[in-house]
Amino acid sequence: MNPSYSSARCEGQSHADNLMDDWLFLSSESAGPQVLEVSRDDQEAEERSRLRSKLVSAWNSVRYGWSLKQKSRFSKSSPVIMLGKSYELKDQGERERFRRTFVSLLWLTYRRGFPPLPSCSLTTDSGWGCVLRTGQMLLAQGLLLHLMPPGWTWSVSHHVVMDDMELEIRPADSGQSFKEGPNKRGRKLSLGSLLDRPMEATHRRVVSWFADQPTAPFGIHQLVELGRSSGKKAGDWYGPSIAAHILQKAVAASADLPNLVVYVAQDCTIYLEDVKRLCERPLPQSWKSVIILVPVRLGGQDLNPAYITCVKKLLTLQCCIGIIGGKPKHSLFFVGFQDDHLLYLDPHYCQSTVDITKENFPLESFHCKYPRKMAVSRMDPSCTIGFYARGQKDFESLCTVVNEALFTSAETYPMFIFAEGHSQDEEQSNTPINNITYIQRNNERRRVNTSNSMDEFVLL
């Protein structure tokens, strides 16, 4: 377990405006007489659990609610890099393109009021589920690349974007606002709107896969259930490495994605033959698409500054789908950077569960309008880096560009490596079974004793 994360349970973040909702929700559930003739002890235990959850949610609202609408300052003299694309914010058109692309990212946050999680009475993941949520966001980005055309943006993002960046030049306000409802249906549809319909149906389907209900293939219920094989249960801390293996199992178990696989690197090594075995199919079928997840630890208690350049270099690659990382006590989903600040999505905003079984269920809460930044030096060293390759040629290109990025600094060992052949034991458990790991660079080998590491990572 990562000591900088586990010193306290990850506190959730909730919008200040929802504080009253939290307390009203608490009152409606805990007040009033008990009418069911069941075990009083069981009832009291369940009520205490619910009360505890609501108090945590309310406390998170007080402690973190103010930060959601804080404006991050963006320089117009430096480009913003986000998931392989560069945006010059001094240009109004580029600024709008950045906003639309950012708003189109899927934002998966804490939720409350969903059906109880497996083997417990928890109906919220506030306070403990942030790594699972950042893992969901990384997987969601991979699925959007897999299913959507290049350059897709959410059509509604053209109307919901707001100027939440501190810049000297502010774009003209279009005066438009977004609100789904019957009053929109009478509007004349443009040709672009008609062409967007199939993509929006796919977008809505992807969102539904992450719903907070037991049947959703990548929802919190399924991820918690899959985590049980790793000794985890609802309410436990999930590290970035455990989250990577849970995502791998979830995609493998899903019938919705027959042409996609997830590969998780072992001991900071991507074994090319293992990837080939996962992706290859008999001719004339093409390779399966692959999401590659690489758990690493870039230092001891703090991030080793020597890896900052490499982290930023990886985020400039179009094959990179983000980083499950964070800062101490906070898991965040990193998607880009400007200068020495990382751009991220924060899962700590606790929202009410959305019923995705309703036709045209609202999508606003699955997209974030507020780009946020933090100093890269504050990044926690434990993280999982994600990549996506659509086919064999894309994977070969990925190997080339990622290798170049990994060796940007001659003074450090690479974060991870590519190796020919198979791993020593393809069926080994998700965590190393011994305390000695070898890291190879060029033709060198050095032994790293990881017995003192509290997480499932190799120290670099």
The residues assigned a catalytic role are 130, 346, 348
3-state SS class at 115: coil
| Rounded Cα–Cα distance for residues 361 and 203 (Å) | 12
Of the candidates 158, 166, 169, the residue with the CA atom closest to the CA atom of residue 102: 158
3-state SS class at 343: strand
Tallying the residues shown for the chain, one arrives at 460
Q: Determine phi and psi for 425, rounding to 5 degrees.
A: -145, 95
**In 45-138, which ranges are E strands?**
72-73, 80-82, 85-87, 111-112
| Rounded Cα–Cα distance for residues 13 and 17 (Å) | 12
Q: What is the CA radius of gyration of the chain?
A: 22
Alpha-carbon dihedral angle through residues 240, 245, 251, 252, given to the nearest 10 degrees = 180
Structure tokens at 92: 């109004």
3-state SS class at 72: strand
Residue 217, preceding peptide bond in cis (omega within 30° of 0): no
The contacts found for 165-171 with CB under 8 angstroms, 24 or more apart, are 165/71, 165/72, 165/73, 165/74, 165/89, 165/95, 165/371, 166/71, 166/72, 166/73, 166/74, 167/74, 167/76, 167/89, 167/95, 168/76, 169/76, 169/90, 169/92, 171/92, 171/95, 171/96
Of the candidates 13, 6, 181, 232, the residue with the CA atom closest to the CA atom of residue 112: 13
Q: Name the pairing type of β-strands 260-264 and 289-297.
A: parallel
